[in-house]
Amino acid sequence: MLSVEAVSKTFGGVQALRQASLSCASGEILGLIGPNGAGKSTLVNAISGVLKPDAGSIRLADQELTGRGPEHCARAGIARTFQNIRLFKELTVRQNVEVAHITCRDVRPDAAGRIDIDALLEQYELGSAADAPAGTLSYGNQRRLEIARALALGPSLLLLDEPAAGLNESESETLAEAIEAIRRDFGCAIIVIDHDLRFINRLCDRLCVMDQGQVIASGDTVEVWRDPRVIEVYVGQSQPS
Ligand SMILES: Nc1ncnc2c1ncn2[C@@H]1O[C@H](COP(=O)(O)OP(=O)(O)OP(=O)(O)O)[C@@H](O)[C@H]1O
Q: Which of 114, 106, 107, 119 is nearest to 76 (CA)?
A: 107
What structural domains does the chain harbor?
25-34+69-234 (3.40.50.300)
Q: Please classify residue 163 by burial: count the beta carbons closer than 10 Å to its beta carbon, then call 0-12 exposed, 13-18 middle and 19+ buried.
A: buried
pLDDT digits (tens, 9 = 90+) for 77-130: 999 988 777 888 999 999 999 988 887 787 778 877 788 899 999 988 899 999
Spacing, Cα 15 to ligand 1 middle (Å): 9
pLDDT digits (tens, 9 = 90+) for 34-48: 999 999 999 999 999
Q: Hey, which residues does 191 pair with through a beta bridge?
A: 30, 159
238: pLDDT confidence band, cut at 50, 70 and 90?
very low
pLDDT digits (tens, 9 = 90+) for 148-176: 999 998 899 999 999 998 888 988 898 99
Gyration radius of the chain's alpha carbons: 17
Dihedral angle, C-alpha 129, 133, 137, 143, nearest 10 °:
90
pLDDT at 111: 77
Residue nearest to atom 12 of ligand 1 (CA): 16
36 Cβ below 6 A of ligand 1 = yes
pLDDT digits (tens, 9 = 90+) for 4-32: 999 999 999 999 999 999 999 999 999 99
| Mean pLDDT (whole number) for 212-230 | 95
Mutation test residue for ligand 1: of 4, 9, 14, 32, the one with most atoms within 8 Å of CB: 14
- Decide: 224 and 218 in contact? Cβ < 8 Å: yes
Question: What CA–CA distance (Å, rounded) separates 181 from 235?
Answer: 33
| Alpha-helical segments (H) within 36-168 | 40-47, 70-76, 93-107, 109-113, 117-123, 139-151
